[in-house]
Structure 1
Amino acid sequence: MKKNRILSTVAIGAVLALGLTACGSDPTKASGGSSSQIVVGSASFGESEILAEIYAGALKAKGFNASTHLDIGQREAYLGALSDGTISLFPEYSGNLLAYYDKTSTASAPADVLTALKKVLPATIVALDPSTAEDKDSYNVTAATAAQYGLSSIGDLAKVPNLKLAANPEFKIRSYGIPGLGSVYGVKNVAFTAINDSGGAATLKTLTSGQVNVADIYSTTPSITANHLVTLDDPKHLIAAQNVLPIIRKDHDSAAVDAVINAVSAKLTTAALLQLNTAFYGADKPSAASVAQAWLKANGFA
């Protein structure tokens, strides 16, 4: 469910770090360095590569023997690599991973998705703490439209006369799209414009030019902040949770590794992901490793 990314020149915003203090021994430190290499994998898009570099960088800073194996491919490929031991750790998305293992699940809220996922994960894979960061479909309006109609959540779209929505063609039939707008939020009689660019440039232009009132754009796409769009809240969880979720091979899992990666997850937010993507796709075109390192330093991990 990944998408084309919108390029932006906005630099990564620094996030205030919480100081990491030590009293006696540090439980997150690899004892004498780890002889077992932890290979962090990524899928074939920038955000996944950045997350992999963040995990690996945080582990290295604590003395672990960590490296990355980037651009593995789609879910079947990287889960296969996790299964056969080519990689040890991977940044996943909770809702999509649940759908992969259980296509019948109706779990939508973050806690429900995680509970359901843990029941169907292979015994060889452990899910660590999820972050609050999510990369998923989101309903977006311009700041002017939000102000005009007092829009803050998806249900508020019922206030908009002659509502027009732009999204990928499948949005017309997906449960989180037009059908869910009516059944979950009571927003009906929506004029739909199909644009097959996954919330890319054509969708953005259609929204900002006023041809539609609302558009589906992935929640960590840089164009959201670059164009001051308002992402509408989804209090009823119409769109299933897609929290960034580290998964690790059980034979590489340990309390020390968990402590490092869970600390990273505690700092990752959707806003942080958006900033990371904005930096990565900016004019300077930095590497995923350099973007990750900047975030690690800003947040006290390096």
Structure 2
Amino acid sequence: MKRWILPILAMMAALVTVLSACSGGGEATPDPSASDFRTIRIGKGTTHESEVIANLYAGVLQKSGYSTEVVDSPDDRLDVVNQMAKGDENSVDLVPDYSGNLLLSLTDGGRKNPKATASPSSDQSDASDPRASKSATPTPSPSAAFNVHGMSSSDISSTLPKVLPDGVTTLNASSAENKDALVVNQITAAKYKLSTINDLAEHCQDLKFGVPNGFEDTSYGNKGLNELYGCAPNNFKHEDDQEKLSNDLDDGSIDVADLYTASAVVKDNNYVVLEDPKANFIAQEVVPVVRSGELPDSAKSAVNDLSAKLGTGDLVFLNRLTTGDKPISSKDAADFWLKENGF
């Protein structure tokens, strides 16, 4: 670890302690039989943020006695889960993802269901912990198509095991969420009196949007914005780097940015996150995706305990540690968070 990192971590420790005090310390009980199990391969996922979470999984499993390896994942989440379903030598056992985006990918934005005729059995999901349920809303049965914008976070998490390929399921989703949002700076918000996407709708064609590549083709891009809000933007700047998007928003190169809600730049720059009352951007909770029946119970419990502890504020904190002018590695950030949270 570089020497200049230590003062930064020392200052950050106070914040982590405050976050930890709200929900108590975590646990990682060693399993005497864990050392006899093979090395657990953990995929980094499809984003920088998911790589940090992958290292959290690795750390908590190591503290439970397991040998782990964090490896690169395919860029496409469907390639990841399909590879897991095959269970070949390149497959990972566990990978973090975001619940909403995974559901959208598996169902072509809710337009189709790969298991529309399936009758899910009671053992399709390894997410048996009652803490995984956040509402009493019945889970919608898979059908040829369904309204993803009408689904709660628990609906999405409960539906995922039903639409994942055979041999792949989920553990407990975390309350930690990191979803897309339309964001403006304070000047733009004041000029156009913006607080919601409804307010934005009448100005959409007059403003320049900074968005990741492919945004227009997503269900929450032009299609969703137009159908739900009558917002039809036609002036785009494409940029996948969140910090560069933030810089463009700050200097006025763009008027509206698609930023992640757990990105530290949102709070650090006092940006206005436009409310989304019609749920164009659906819930995006962190969810562990696993090969069915592969991980021992103590390994699944360790990951579930981590999920129960991890909150959105922790994602913001970890993002701040791993981005900016002096970022630390995903592994260093994960190790620090685990230590400060009692794992």
TM, length-normalised to structure 2 = 0.70
The alignment covers a number of residue pairs equal to 285
Contact 1:157 1:163 in 2 (8 A): no
Deviation at 1:205, TM superposition (A): 4.1
Judging by fraction of residues, say which structure has more helix: 2
* Partner residue in 2 for 1:49: 51
Measure how far apart 1:279 and its partner are. Answer: 0.9
Match 1:181 to one of 210, 225, 230: 225
The aligned residue for residue 5 of structure 1 is none
* 1:194 aligned residue: 236
Match of 1:71 in 2: 72
In structure 2, what is the equivalent of residue 216 of structure 1? 258
Change (3 A) 1:181 1:165: farther
Between the two structures, name the one with larger relative contact order (CA 8 Å, sep ≥ 6).
1
Contact 2:57 2:303 in 1 (8 A): yes
Residue identity in the other structure for 1:58: V
Per the TM alignment, residue 207 of structure 1 is displaced from its structure 2 partner at its CA by 2.6
Distance 1:298 1:88 in 2: 27
Question: How many Å separate the matches in 2 of 1:151 and 1:112?
Answer: 30
Q: Residue 246 of structure 1: CA displacement? A: 0.2
Match of 1:6 in 2: none
How many Å apart are 1:258 and its aligned residue? 2.7
Aligned to 1:111: 154
Aligned partner of residue 239 in structure 1, secondary structure:
coil
Alignment of 1:96-245 (within 5 A): 96-103=101-108, 104-105=111-112, 106-108=147-149, 109=151, 110-146=153-189, 151-157=194-200, 164-168=207-211, 170-172=214-216, 174-185=218-229, 188=231, 192-198=234-240, 200=242, 203-210=245-252, 212-245=254-287
Change (3 A) 1:39 1:216: same
Show structure 1 runs of 5+ residues with no match: 1-9
Q: Distance in 2 between matches of 1:115 and 1:243?
A: 12
Runs of 4+ in 1 over 6 A off after TM superposition: 159-162
Matched, 1:33 2:76: no
- Structure 2 counterpart of 1:256: 298
Contact 1:44 1:70 in 2 (8 A): no
Which residue identity is paired with 2:317? Answer: Q
The residue number in structure 2 matching 1:16 is 20
User: What is the aligned-residue RMSD (CA, Å)?
Assistant: 3.2
SS in 1 for 2:34: coil
Q: Cα–Cα, structure 1 residues 299 and 149, in superposed 2: closer, same or farther, change >3 Å?
A: farther
- Displacement of 1:153 in angstroms is 3.6
Identity of aligned residues (%): 32
Moved more, 149-158 or 239-248: 149-158
* CA spacing shift, 1:59–1:171, aligned 2, 3 Å: closer
What's the secondary structure of 2:159's corresponding residue? helix
Question: Which of 57, 60, 63 in structure 1 is aligned with 2:62?
Answer: 60
Corresponding residue of 2:98: 93
Report if aligned partners of 1:151, 1:157 keep a CA contact under 8 Å in 2: yes
Contact 2:41 2:71 in 1 (8 A): no
TM-score (norm 1): 0.78
Give the partner amino acid of 1:164.
Answer: L
| Aligned residue type for 1:35 | D
* Distance in 1 between residues matched to 2:277 and 2:300, nearest whole Å: 30
What is the CA–CA distance in structure 1 between the aligned matches of 2:326 and 2:53, rounded to whole Å? Answer: 19
Q: Which amino acid in structure 2 is aligned with residue 180 of structure 1?
A: G
Contact 2:26 2:342 in 1 (8 A): no
Stretch of structure 1 that moved more, 286-295 or 90-99: 90-99
Specify the SS of the correspondent of 1:39.
Answer: strand
CA distance in structure 2 between the partners assigned to 1:39 and 1:174 by the alignment: 30
Is 1:84 aligned to 2:88, yes or no? yes
Instruction: In structure 2, give the amino acid aligned to 1:51.
Output: I
**1:167-198 Cα deviation digits (max 9, x unpaired):** 33754564423443343245x4x654211113
Deviates more, 1:246-255 or 1:78-87: 78-87
In 2, the alpha carbon distance for the partners of 1:45 and 1:226 equals 21
